[in-house]
Structure 1
Amino acid sequence: MPASNVLSFRNADGRRIAWHEFGQPDGRPVFYCHGFPSSGREAALLHQPATALGLRLIAPDRPGYGGSDDQPGLELRDWPTDLAALADHLGIERFALLGLSGGGPYALACAWRLPERLSARILVCPLGPVYLQEVLAAMHRPARSSLALAKRSPWLAQRLYGGPTPWLLARWPGLVEHVRTLNLPSKDLTALSAGDNQAILNSTIGDAMARGARGARRDLHLYTHDWRIPCDAIHAPISIWHGEADATVPPAHARWYRDHLSGANLTTLPDQGHFSLPIHFGERILRGLIADD
């Protein structure tokens, strides 16, 4: 597993923001928005292609995840402020942006609020606005039911990610392996069984639960309520990648982004799933950040 260089700083309001770095330390900066429930350690999946391309992956933990302090009342549209503060702390004026899965909505918020600072934007198998019934309906039944219940009954998220659950998963994150691999396409199973990929994802579960799953509980709420991000105000080019066999986030979500973002360009790959796409096509995806710069 690639070594994770975990760092942190205190922003203007005193909160600690932690981040992980992978790839080329002095390379072209790419900020990475991690999925759900996860942490910036997830960017280790792209360490090798980033290194080969001379890219520096900077992957912060969102509030309540990993080493980052919680931020009660956080909204999706607030995240760009933290990202910009981290960039300022690192002395980086312009940077590329990549959002994967549940990090897609957060990357979208950055595309809206930080247009002058972004050199390129890529969304990989991004979660769509599941607060909209037509987008939620595209999810497979278990995920659709869980998200719908989380929206209607906020106490459910507290029960799912409360009590002993965070404590157990923080100490034995491998417990989620069986759940993660349920109903996955063969390409995903092959990708997860290779190298350290399963171990990397397990470690992000431990990070996500380390602070009592505060970030995960908030994400469930934010994903299922109006994001308040005006897509019609985002005009810069955005590349979107999605696997047609994705059993976690359906390709219909990527098509929603394509249809609502004037600068969107969608690439779909047949037979690829939620995990195989970034793992097997990471270099091709990251190369787009260089081409768009």
Structure 2
Amino acid sequence: MSLHVIDPVRIGTEELPGGRQLGWAEWGPVDGVPVLLSPGAATSRHLGFGGDVVDGLGVRLISLDRPGLGASSPHPGRTFGDFADGIRAFAALRGLGRPLMVGNSQGAPFALACAAAGVVGALAVVSGADEIAAPCFADALPGELRRLVDLAVADPAAAEKVFAGLTPQTMWDMVMSGSPECDLAVYRQPAFEAAYRRALDEAFAQGAAAGYARDTVLAMGRWGIELPDIAVPVDIWYGEKDTGHSPDQGAGLAARIPGAVRHLVPQAGGAVLWTHAEQVLSTLLKRAPAS
């Protein structure tokens, strides 16, 4: 499958209350339906998706750098609630109302926090990192991952120090060694690899400790997000060959969110965000609240 990787058409930063900067990048018409993107682990705002379909769908895709990644200021000790507050402020400053949102991979729990806080009007979780510290997954994780999860729960500061040692190359190697062939066919495309590596380099520009390490401790620990209180439509997407993001491919996650709809995509892996962009966005648009 050949993918169109398109650079953002608009890019900038927004100053949040308190003075922190939030980096953003946009694709699609400026008057389109706002859809925020919480990107995957250690990637910057520059790695969007669906650049070839957003105009036709009337989507204004806005990819966001989480604190300490890319162009966004660090926010030491931040929580999921802090992130949701920042996105609420960003949406107000940009006049977005209650935008729609997509959370990919490690960006999923941050997006779920926004849904739980009522910041967004509907959510698509795509290849989402699950709450692997939940007791139901205690026997489902390989040994080294289990050790890291236990550390993130018991001693978050020590876990942050471990994750702070990672580099863009480490992340790339992890993705390439842990992905099924259907995903590698996407990631190895020269244009996609160049865009992915650029996003990794940008995300680590302030050092792993500033952003990625905190993200990972939050995502690997107990979330504390009130998933049963989510009152907006949620679609959960996994490729049937993706076993790395959720031990049960989101079945338990969907069961914890009232009304959530789970989609298991045949012959797909963790790259669903890019291989099925139009399907994800079209479904999300149907969930938008009536204006």
Equivalent in the alignment of 2:207: 212
Give me the whole-angstrom Cα distance separating, in 1, the residues matched to 2:120 and 2:163: 36
Equivalent in the alignment of 1:56: 60
- Residue 263 of structure 1, CA deviation: 1.6
Give me the whole-angstrom Cα distance separating, in 2, the residues matched to 1:223 and 1:15: 22
Check conservation: 2:115, 2:121, Cα contact below 8 A.
no
Deviates most, 192-201 or 75-84: 192-201
Equivalent in the alignment of 1:179: 174
TM-score (ref. length: structure 2): 0.88
Query: Which residue, out of 264, 270, 279, partners 2:274?
Result: 279
- Residue 41 of structure 1, CA deviation: 2.0
SS of aligned partner of 2:231: coil
Give me the whole-angstrom Cα distance separating, in 1, the residues matched to 2:225 and 2:173: 35
Deviates most, 193-202 or 90-99: 193-202
Query: Which residue, out of 240, 244, 248, partners 1:248?
Result: 244
Aligned length: 281
Equivalent in the alignment of 1:161: 164
Supply the AA of the counterpart residue of 1:285. V
- Residue 156 of structure 1, CA deviation: 4.8
Alignment of 1:119-130 (within 5 A): 119-130=121-132
- Residue 270 of structure 1, CA deviation: 2.7
Does residue 34 (structure 1) correspond to residue 39 (structure 2)? The answer is yes
Give me the whole-angstrom Cα distance separating, in 1, the residues matched to 2:146 and 2:99: 35
Does residue 102 (structure 1) correspond to residue 98 (structure 2)? The answer is no
Check conservation: 2:7, 2:46, Cα contact below 8 A.
no
Give me the whole-angstrom Cα distance separating, in 2, the residues matched to 1:160 and 1:80: 23
TM-score (ref. length: structure 1): 0.87
In structure 2, do the counterparts of structure 1 residues 55 and 244 end up closer, same or farther at CA, with 3 Å as the change threshold?
Answer: same
SS of aligned partner of 2:248: helix
Give me the whole-angstrom Cα distance separating, in 2, the residues matched to 1:88 and 1:80: 12
Structure with bigger helix share is 1
Supply the AA of the counterpart residue of 1:185. P
- Residue 17 of structure 1, CA deviation: 1.1
The CA RMSD measured in Å over matched residues stands at 2.2
Check conservation: 2:34, 2:61, Cα contact below 8 A.
yes
Query: What are the Cα deviations for residues 28-63 of structure 1, in whole angstroms up to 9, with x where unaligned?
Result: 1101111112222222x3222223312111111111
Where in structure 2 are there 5+ consecutive unaligned residues? Answer: none
Give me the whole-angstrom Cα distance separating, in 1, the residues matched to 2:61 and 2:121: 14
Supply the AA of the counterpart residue of 1:273. G
Equivalent in the alignment of 1:289: 284
SS of aligned partner of 2:78: coil
Supply the AA of the counterpart residue of 1:235. A
Query: Which residue, out of 9, 25, 28, partners 2:30?
Result: 25
Give me the whole-angstrom Cα distance separating, in 1, the residues matched to 2:179 and 2:96: 39
Where in structure 1 are there 5+ consecutive unaligned residues? Answer: none
- Residue 141 of structure 1, CA deviation: 5.2
